[in-house]
């Protein structure tokens, strides 16, 4: 394992960007939450990789496309790069239980397990921050500690809890 063998896994909607009570897939509805930039900079300075793990079940429902998700994620990468923050990866599951089962969708732990393997991460030094019990269940399934917070929590309140 290299020096950066730990990660902060983050849910997207409600953690990185505002949870608006419905699927976020339009750029004009994608608003970065208060404290995200500062918290990510802090964790990066402590040697953590930064990885987003998100369910995007609206794809299975036909509400939006993979392309819509890629455009949002491209915007997020660009925004964070301009703030001096490198996001290591974004994993998303396009599945929804109403349209078939998938191991990748949280509470399944497959997306986290893929990231652990790809980046040679130590699950015991890694943390998943999410706003739904399924985020924590996915983390625990991969041997990662989960931290459950309310949607749209200022991440600066968590920097010392990691």
Q: Which residues are catalytic?
A: 11, 13
Distance CA 82, CA 135 (A): 28
Closest CA to 51 of 105, 91, 104, 2: 91
Residues 6+ apart with CB under 8 A from 10: 16, 50, 51, 52, 53, 128, 129, 130
Closest CA to 77 of 66, 61, 89: 89
């Amino acid at each position: 394992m290299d020096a950066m063998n730990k990660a902060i896994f983050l849910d997207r909607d409600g953690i990185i960007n505002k949870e608006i009570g419905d699927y976020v897939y339009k750029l004009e509805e994608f608003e970065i939450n208060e404290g995200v930039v500062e918290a990510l900079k802090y964790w990066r300075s402590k040697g953590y990789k930064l990885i987003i793990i998100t369910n995007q079940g609206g794809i299975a429902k036909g509400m939006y496309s993979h392309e819509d998700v890629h455009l949002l994620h491209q915007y997020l990468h660009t925004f964070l790069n301009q703030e001096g923050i490198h996001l290591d990866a974004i994993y998303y599951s396009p599945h929804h239980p109403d349209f078939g089962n998938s191991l990748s969708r949280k509470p399944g732990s497959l997306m986290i397990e893929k990231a652990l393997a790809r980046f040679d991460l130590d699950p015991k030094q890694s943390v998943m921050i999410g706003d739904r019990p399924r985020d924590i269940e996915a983390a625990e399934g991969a041997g990662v500690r989960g931290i459950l917070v309310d949607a749209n929590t200022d991440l600066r309140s968590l920097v010392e809890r990691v």
